[in-house]
Amino acid sequence: MNPIGTRFALSLAACAALVTGTAQAQSKPEDDIRYRQSVMNVMGRALGPLGAMAQGKAPFNAAVAQKNAMLVDTLLSLPFNAYGPGTDKGAPTKADPKIWSDAARFKQSSEVAQKAAAQLLAASNAGDEARFKAAVGEVGKACKSCHDDFRTKEFRN
C-alpha cells in the first residue's frame, strides 16, 4: 500500500474505532444489541415529524415527508441482520426470546414494516398528502404489531 493509502487506511480505522469503540470485523452480541437500539432510536426521531403531519399537528410539508420517509425506509433495512444467533443476550435488551424461537414470524413481521415504509416513501415522493397519511398509519401499525409481539416491556439481560 502506498503512503497515501496507508494514511487513508489509518484515518478511517481511527475513525471507525472512535465512532463505535469496537472492531468492525466481527461484532459481539452487545455490539449488535447496541446497534439495533441505535437504529431504533434514530428511527424514532425520524418518525416524530411524520406522525405530527399525519395527525394534523403539523402542516404537511412534502420535503420533510420525503426526507424522513427516506430515512425510515433506509433504517428499516438495517437492524434485522443484527438479530443473529447468540444476540438474545449480552447487554440489556427488550428483544423478546420469540424473535429466535419464532424466527419465521419475526421475519414476516419485519417485512411487513419494510413494505409499509416503502409505501410511505412512495407516497411521500408523490407528494400525495392523503396517501401519505394513510401510509404513516400503516407504518405505525407495523411498528406496533412487531413491538407487541417481539418486544418485552422491561429490559432484560
List interacting residues with its own copies (CB under 8 A): 1, 4-5, 7-16, 18-20, 22, 24-25, 27, 34-35, 37-45, 47-52, 54-56, 70-71, 74-75, 78, 133-134, 136-137, 139-141, 143-144, 147, 151
Nearer to its own copies, 10 or 103 (CB): 10
89 versus 133: smaller Cβ distance to its own copies: 133
CA 88, 43, 74, 115 torsion-angle sign: positive
Which residues are within 8 A (CB) of 49 and not within 5 positions of it... i.e. 6 or more apart?
58, 64, 68
CB-based contact 84:32 (threshold 8 Å): yes
Closest approach, Cβ 138 to its own copies, in A, equals 8
Spatial CA neighbour of 120 closest among 131, 107, 109: 131
Nearest distance from C-beta of residue 115 to its own copies, angstroms: 15
The answer for residues whose C-beta is within 8 angstroms of residue 36's C-beta and 6 or more apart is 79, 82, 83, 93, 95
Minimum CB separation of residue 122 from its own copies in Å reads 17
Residue listed under C-alpha cell 425520524:
46
Q: Which is nearer to its own copies, 52 or 62 (CB)?
A: 52
- The position carrying cell 403531519 is 53
Q: Please report, as a single letter, which amino acid is at residue 14.
A: A
16 versus 103: smaller Cβ distance to its own copies: 16
Question: What is the nearest approach in angstroms of its own copies to the Cβ of residue 100?
Answer: 20
